[in-house]
Amino acid sequence: MLHIERLTASVGDKTILDGLDLDIAAGEIHAVMGPNGAGKSTLSNVLAGRDGYTTTGTVTFEGGDLLALTPEERAAKGLFLAFQHPVEIPGVGNMYFLHTALNAIRLVRGQPEIGAVDFLALAKEHMARLDMDPAFLSRSVNEGFSGGEKKRNEILQLSLLEPRLAILDETDSGLDIDALRVVGEGVERLRHPERSMLIITHHPRLLEFVRPDRVHVLQAGRIVRTGDHHLARELEAVGYGAAAAR
């Protein structure tokens, strides 16, 4: 599904990712954990195609060169990024935005458009599962949302857009325990043999609700250790420095 080889990324003369290797097979959930400044957000930005990074190395997604694609082409191929800080877009209704995005992606996939009425029903069904008030749909995208509401809105989009690879960038930060459970259960429900997930996080909190197949430790721009979900516990117990040294 995703194959990353010797990926480097730099901004100006500052190297942030420094020869990162990572393989994610279909249906797997991987967690990348690391201290602040390890390059976690850069990894998600580079995979989603944000401007401003100079990269070397290869990233293959579904058999094609990911780095050559525009952000919207990556989205259409099934790559989804749940943002750490979802941006506010004043005046653009959440429902209108989601509906447009879904149909843009369906168009590229050769699927028929979904009409407004059907979409509304679909959105409400997904929202109910995430314990979201339908009033969210009539508000502007992320505008005036609390931190928790923004994160839930990201998971709602994740569940509606049905991506092949979902990257969750610090989705657990800023959530209280109840919101964390709702988000975690939402993610767990989206587990599917054809869908992979990459959970990028500083804390192992979300991993109490979502059990990853593999856990990687990211430090100074590369993966320094890989293990199963027990590694997350270990990190919590002894910290990044000690865990990485083993």
Partner 1 sequence: MSDVVDILVEREYAYGFHADLETELAPKGLDEDVVRLISAKKQEPAWLLEWRLAAFRHFLTLEEPTWPNVHHPPIDYQDMHYWAAPKPKGPAPKSLDEVDPQIRAEFDKLGISLAEQERLSGVAVDAVMDSISVATTFKAKLAEAGVIFCSFSEAVREHPELVRRYLGSVVPFRDNFFAALNSAVFSDGSFCFIPAGVQCPMELSTYFRINAAETGQFERTLIVAEEGASVSYLEGCTAPKRDENQLHAAVVELVALDDASIKYSTVQNWYPGDADGKGGIFNFVTKRGRAGNRATISWTQVETGSAITWKYPSVILQGDDSVGEFYSVAVTTHHQQADTGTKMIHIGRNTTSTILSKGISAGHAQNTYRGLVKVLRSATGARNHTRCDSLLIGPDCGAHTFPYIEVKNDTAQVEHEASTSKVSDDQLFYCRQRGLTEEDATSMIVNGFCREVFDELPMEYAVEAQALMRLTLEGAVG
Residues at the contact surface with partner 1, assessed by CB under 8 A: 48-51, 70-72, 74-76, 80-81, 83, 86-87, 89-92, 96-97, 100-102, 104-105, 108, 140-141, 157, 161
What is the DSSP pairing of strand 54-61 with strand 89-93? unpaired
Q: Indicate the residue among 76 and 223 with the shorter CB distance to partner 1.
A: 76
Q: Indicate the residue among 102 and 232 with the shorter CB distance to partner 1.
A: 102
Q: Indicate the residue among 68 and 108 with the shorter CB distance to partner 1.
A: 108
- The one-letter code for the residue type at 75 is A
Residue 107: CB minimum distance to partner 1, A: 9
Phi-psi region of 230 (alpha: psi -120 to 50; beta: other; left: phi over 0): alpha
Q: Indicate the residue among 108 and 121 with the shorter CB distance to partner 1.
A: 108
Residue 50: CB minimum distance to partner 1, A: 5
For residues 175 and 105, what is the distance between their CA atoms, to the nearest angstrom?
A: 29
Residue 120: CB minimum distance to partner 1, A: 18
For residues 188 and 231, what is the distance between their CA atoms, to the nearest angstrom?
A: 19
Q: Indicate the residue among 88 and 178 with the shorter CB distance to partner 1.
A: 88
Angstrom distances, CA of residue 66 to CA of 47, 57, 129: 8, 11, 32
Residue 8: CB minimum distance to partner 1, A: 21
For residues 132 and 138, what is the distance between their CA atoms, to the nearest angstrom?
A: 13
Residue 101: CB minimum distance to partner 1, A: 4
Residue 236: CB minimum distance to partner 1, A: 30
Q: Indicate the residue among 90 and 241 with the shorter CB distance to partner 1.
A: 90
